[in-house]
């Protein structure tokens, strides 16, 4: 396919609607995880939908597409860029890249570990306390982010509820002096 044909295809209604649909389900660059809103500010344009393969052009599968910020797209397409990367930091807990260079933790870890941390809520709650489910949900999010499989998360949740039940039963059998 010639460059002029490809440029024409990129202007087609089919490509524009597919691009919008892909971007609707993506909030960041798939390579550097730069958030969509920050990509628009830093590089003066929305995220790019990049073809990883041109074999199915016009009949693309989502697996043929990759959402990239302008910086990553130029590197992928041309092998270099004159753009500067947006400053980032690594979370001290999970190692994920985040873009608040003044924060030590990413937003997910911040939710779990900063006061009142989800872990503290879990430790201080009782089995019938609704806040426990909020705490466990946040902790499970961190576990998933760390790559823990669903069965590992289920074991963790089960262990926490067994601990709460044990503490509740011990508290019920302990006599309180008046």
Per-residue pLDDT for 152 more than 80?
no
Per-residue pLDDT for 127 more than 60?
no
Q: Which of 152, 153, 145 is nearest to 109 (CA)?
A: 145
Name the band, by pLDDT with cuts 50, 70 and 90, for residue 48.
very high
Q: Tens digits of per-residue pLDDT, 62-81?
A: 888 999 999 999 999 999 99
Contact (CB, 8 A) for 133 and 118: no
Q: Tens digits of per-residue pLDDT, 131-144?
A: 666 666 667 776 66
Other CB atoms within 10 A of residue 170 CB: 9
Give the residue, 40 or 156, on which the prediction is more confident.
40
Q: How far apart are CA 167 and CA 34, in angstroms?
A: 44
- Pick from 114-118, 125-129, 149-153, 165-169 the range whose average pLDDT is largest: 165-169
Contact (CB, 8 A) for 68 and 30: yes
| pLDDT at residue 6, rounded to an integer | 85
Structure tokens at 165: 């039940």
Please report the sign of the dihedral spanned by the C-alpha atoms of residue 95, residue 41, residue 45, residue 20. positive
Q: Rg (Cα) of the chain, in Å, rounded?
A: 23
Per-residue pLDDT for 96 more than 80?
yes
- Which run of H or of E encompasses 152? helix 150-173
Q: How far apart are CA 73 and CA 51, in angstroms?
A: 10
Contact (CB, 8 A) for 77 and 129: no
Going by the DSSP 8-state scheme, the letter that residue 99 receives in this structure is S
Cβ neighbours of residue 119 closer than 8 Å, sequence gap 6 or more: 112, 113, 135, 139
């Amino acid at each position: 396919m010639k460059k002029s044909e490809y440029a024409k295809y990129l202007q087609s209604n089919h490509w524009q609607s597919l691009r919008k649909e892909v971007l609707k389900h993506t909030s960041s660059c798939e390579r550097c995880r730069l958030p969509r809103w920050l990509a628009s500010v830093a590089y003066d344009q929305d995220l790019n939908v990049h073809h990883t393969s041109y074999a199915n052009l016009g009949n693309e599968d989502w697996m043929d597409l990759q959402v990239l910020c302008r910086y990553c797209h130029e590197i992928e397409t041309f092998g270099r860029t004159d753009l500067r990367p947006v400053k980032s930091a690594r979370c001290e807990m999970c190692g994920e890249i985040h873009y608040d260079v003044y924060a030590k933790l990413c937003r997910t870890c911040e939710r779990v570990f900063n006061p009142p941390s989800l872990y503290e809520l879990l430790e201080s709650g009782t089995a019938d306390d609704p806040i426990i489910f909020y705490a466990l949900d946040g902790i499970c999010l961190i576990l998933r982010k760390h790559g823990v499989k669903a069965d590992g998360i289920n074991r963790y949740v089960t262990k926490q509820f067994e601990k709460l039940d044990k503490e509740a039963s011990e508290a019920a059998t302990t006599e309180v002096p008046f």
